[in-house]
Structure 1
Amino acid sequence: MVAVIIILIGVAIIYYKNTIGSDNAKMVRALTQGKTKTQADVITYFKREGCGAKTITDSQYYDIVASARSHYNSIQKALDKIGLDADEVREIPPVYFEGFRGENAYTKQTASGRWVSTTYEIAWLFFSDSQVHVYRRRFNLDDDYTTEITDEYFYKDITAFTTISEEEVDRDGKRIPTTTFRMRGAGIEFECSLSEVKDFETAIRGMKQKLREKKNA
């Protein structure tokens, strides 16, 4: 009987050290101190590893992203921030881009092979008679950080609309693949993620066609 108790105690100690008492579990607890429940769930999803690790699912993380995104991706909100009416930007339909950013964020590969991160961004591009107007909102899911920009660029100053497939370095030093849209030109450095856009090529072809028309007018 004593031997059985000793074995059970030993098993319990090993289980503790490999689960809630592991270095990884302690690190995650430290990272989630002072966070909201959702932020703590996000951090745990990205950082918790090993035996006994309990995290939200990939699907649940996408639900968190969708909920946060819904606060920012309204076309009317973007127009209000830029200070335009819809009638002023009818050269081509508004273009919407969105996706994850890996730079300085926590990242992981989902069961389906897709990369996700704790940083997300959305962007609207509007086309008036003489300018391209942009709105971009970037926000973190693991803290309260968010930033937005609005800007406008004359067609005559824009040299190219391009897509770039490259790698970003995340918060842990991992290099992860990413695809971004970039607008180039005199004093122009606008870019945004395309990782969650299925048919961005069609939108970009329309933008390039409009730019050619304006350049040749």
Structure 2
Amino acid sequence: MTRTGKRGGADADAETYWILRQDQLEVLASTVRSDIIDHLVGRGPMSIKQLAASLGRQPSSIYYHMEMLQKVGLIVEAGTQVSNRRTEVLYQTPAPRIRMKKAIRNPDNHELIGKMVGVLNRQSQRDFEQGLMHPAMQSEGPHRNLGFFRLINRPSPESLEEINGHLDRIAEILWEERDMSQPLVALAWTLAPLPDQEDGG
């Protein structure tokens, strides 16, 4: 069972689940649960056994986290499959895309969002360390799948619009693509206005 079809525009809106509730944000302030969501988005419906293998964990170690995610509606059952004569329940996210940027608008969510960014950064460090050892790692060229970047500058409103357009397109590419012959990749980014000390004396 897979989710396929052309994405973008109105179709993308229909296939997007917006996280707005605080109980959902609280549940995602966990590296394990965030990783579960990311793997289900990236790989489609999976059983707990398949998901645990993808995460490099034992199935028993993710049951609790799966229950928490299911309780707040961030994962749903997606049918069954038979494996070794046993019927296994498949799970997926409620939509192919999971977004939370609308939640940032609510000041009541800022503390939780900050915790989630901390989780994302810790997971990004682990991803990078694993990527350094991956046999398919490429750090140069057009098929590069390992790198990092941070730059501080003063973009104009027009430049910010262009940057955000590129970031949105990058997200669409990653949501659209599912070449099962290729290794999984993780991409994370942060964008934030910084305190300006230039005139602070």
TM-score (norm 1): 0.21
TM-score (norm 2): 0.22
Q: Say which structure is richer in strand.
A: 1
Q: Which protein shows a greater Rg?
A: 1
Of structures 1 and 2, the one scoring higher in RCO (CA 8 A, sep 6+) is: 2
